[in-house]
């Protein structure tokens, strides 16, 4: 994951206000009027306020927040299912707001495709039909559709189920069909609005694994919405946290966990399993520790502790791509695992 990755989606100064006279309300919001006051005094709903977000190509950008914080409103701006009250959305250098209806249709089909919650499967069609649907819409010929959908059905572990109706499958299997369908369509950007939120925890973890596994091959640009912090930390290369339509923090999972921007974020992360969330690279010292046992910077604290205790050493040399980048002491690992006050 390089920090100078190319920007795929650039969202600038984005405002969305719902109501009859939205444009006239923008200055009030700019001047600091709260969501509650805007509703009370003017009967308008603040959807988004001054959002600036660069989504890096080939990364998973998570958008997290409580219900009503503006997550769906934000993601729907990316393919212009919603028009902003102010601001801009640029995808691969193209201004989404400047597109004609024709261009927009093409854009939604081949560039940025929306994956809805529960994936909106067609119940009276087979698994194969569901997966190849998006491909047929793209105008691929029959043989090519069949070949590609077979490949994706295999990748999500559903070979043998091609001719089943989706209603004959368990919830978890239906999710796999949906994922295969979304991935089969070659769109470079996947917009995923809480795709796993309705799933029970085991199936959900399973789906996260499949998505991460596929992403190592596909390198899609994914904007993934969740209200679940564990899911956000697990999937996101970067996380934007929304509150009442505002981005309160945008950063890597390590940024969010180590340096919460305010009390709201701090409160959000206070119950996470720090031993599984924090990486050694986030707590290391710059000094090297020659001859000490080596631990990769991306190792989580639980695992680092385990391996350090196993060696009997007090200090480890921290490496990135095999090269020493610093060191970490046993007691530092232990104190970082303890919950801050
Ligand atoms: N079409 C709409 N008209 C009025 N208010 C809306 C509309 N869509 C969303 N909102 C409001 O905008 C805010 C953000 O909603 P939404 O983006 O759906 O949140 P989330 O996806 O985070 O749950 C909420 O207060 C919601 O009630
Ligand atoms: Mg939503």
User: Which atom of ligand 1 is least distant from the CA of 66?
Assistant: 22
Tokens 């919405």 sit on residue: 225
Task: Tell me how far the alpha carbon of residue 83 lies from the centroid of ligand 1, in angstroms.
Answer: 13
Report the share of the chain in percent with pLDDT over 90.
74
Task: Tell me how far the alpha carbon of residue 250 lies from the centroid of ligand 2, in angstroms.
Answer: 19
- Taking CA atoms only, the protein residue closest to ligand 1 atom 10 is 47
DSSP 339: P
Classify domain 7-111+189-272 by CATH number: 3.40.50.300
pLDDT digit string (tens) for 312-323?
999 999 999 999
Return the pLDDT at 136: 79
* C-alpha pair distances (Å), 133 with each of 126, 185, 189, 211, 320: 10, 9, 18, 20, 43
Report the share of the chain in percent with pLDDT over 70.
97
In this structure, which residues have their CB less than 5 angstroms from ion ligand 2? 71-72
List of E strands, 59-127: 60-64, 86-91, 94-95, 112-115
Cα gap 90→186, rounded to integer Å: 20
Return the pLDDT at 318: 97
pLDDT digit string (tens) for 265-324?
999 999 999 999 999 999 999 999 989 999 999 999 999 999 999 999 999 999 999 999
Cα gap 62→324, rounded to integer Å: 30
Task: Tell me how far the alpha carbon of residue 162 lies from the centroid of ligand 1, in angstroms.
Answer: 38
User: Which atom of ligand 1 is least distant from the CA of 65?
Assistant: 22
* Alpha helices by DSSP H, the chain: 22-30, 35-42, 71-78, 101-110, 127-137, 142-155, 171-184, 201-218, 229-235, 253-258, 263-269, 274-277, 301-311, 330-337
Its sign, for the CA torsion 148, 149, 151, 152, is positive
pLDDT digit string (tens) for 28-41?
999 999 999 999 99
Once rounded to an integer, what is the mean pLDDT over residues 87-110? Answer: 95
Tokens 């890597």 sit on residue: 252
Domain at 275-337, CATH from 3.40.1160.10, 3.90.550.10, 3.90.1280.20, 3.30.450.40:
3.90.1280.20
Nearest to 165 by CA among 156, 174, 152, 176: 174
- Taking CA atoms only, the protein residue closest to ligand 1 atom 20 is 68
Task: Tell me how far the alpha carbon of residue 18 lies from the centroid of ligand 1, in angstroms.
Answer: 8
Strand 45-56, strand 7-18: pairing? antiparallel
pLDDT digit string (tens) for 206-262?
889 989 988 988 899 999 999 999 999 999 999 999 999 999 999 999 999 999 999
Ligand 1 first shell, C-beta below 6 A: 18, 45, 47, 65, 67-73
Q: Which of 73, 114, 224 to mutate to test the pocket of ligand 1 (most atoms within 8 A of CB)?
A: 73
Q: How confident is the model at residue 22 (pLDDT cuts 50, 70, 90)?
A: very high
Asked if the model's pLDDT at residue 2 lies above 50, the reply is: no
Task: Tell me how far the alpha carbon of residue 94 lies from the centroid of ligand 1, in angstroms.
Answer: 26
Spans of all domains in the chain: 7-111+189-272, 118-186, 275-337
Which ligand is closest in space to the CA of residue 77?
1
């Amino acid at each position: 994951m390089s920090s100078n990755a190319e920007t795929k989606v650039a969202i600038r100064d984005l405002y969305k206000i719902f109501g009859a006279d939205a444009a006239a309300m923008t200055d009030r919001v700019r001047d600091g009027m709260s969501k509650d006051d805007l509703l009370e005094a003017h009967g308008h709903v603040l959807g988004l306020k001054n959002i600036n977000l660069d989504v890096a190509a080939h990364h998973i950008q998570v958008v997290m927040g409580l219900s009503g914080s503006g997550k769906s409103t934000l993601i729907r701006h990316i393919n212009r299912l919603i028009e902003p009250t102010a601001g801009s959305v640029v995808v691969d250098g193209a201004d989404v707001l400047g597109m004609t209806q024709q261009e927009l249709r093409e854009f939604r089909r081949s560039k940025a495709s929306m994956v809805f919650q529960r994936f909106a499967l067609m119940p009276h069609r087979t698994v194969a039909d569901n997966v190849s649907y998006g491909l047929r819409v793209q105008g691929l010929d029959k043989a090519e559709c069949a070949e590609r959908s077979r490949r994706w059905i295999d990748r999500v572990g559903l070979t043998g189920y091609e001719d089943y109706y989706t209603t004959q499958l368990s919830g978890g299997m239906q999710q796999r069909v949906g994922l295969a369908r979304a991935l089969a369509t070659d769109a470079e950007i996947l917009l995923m609005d809480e795709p796993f939120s309705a799933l029970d925890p085991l199936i959900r973890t399973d789906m996260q694994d499949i998505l991460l596994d596929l992403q190592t091959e596909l390198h899609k640009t994914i904007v993934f919405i969740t209200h679940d912090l564990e899911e956000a930390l697990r999937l996101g290369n970067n996380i934007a946290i929304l509150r009442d339509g505002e981005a309160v923090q945008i950063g890597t999972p390590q940024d969010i966990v180590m340096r919460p921007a305010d009390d709201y974020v701090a409160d959000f992360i206070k119950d996470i399993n720090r031993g599984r969330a924090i990486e050694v690279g986030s707590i290391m010292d710059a000094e090297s520790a020659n001859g000490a046992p080596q631990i990769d910077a991306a190792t989580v604290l639980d695992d680092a502790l385990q391996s350090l205790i196993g060696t009997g050493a007090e200090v480890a040399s921290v490496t990135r791509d095999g090269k020493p980048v610093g060191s970490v002491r046993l007691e530092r690992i232990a104190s970082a695992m303890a919950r801050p006050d």
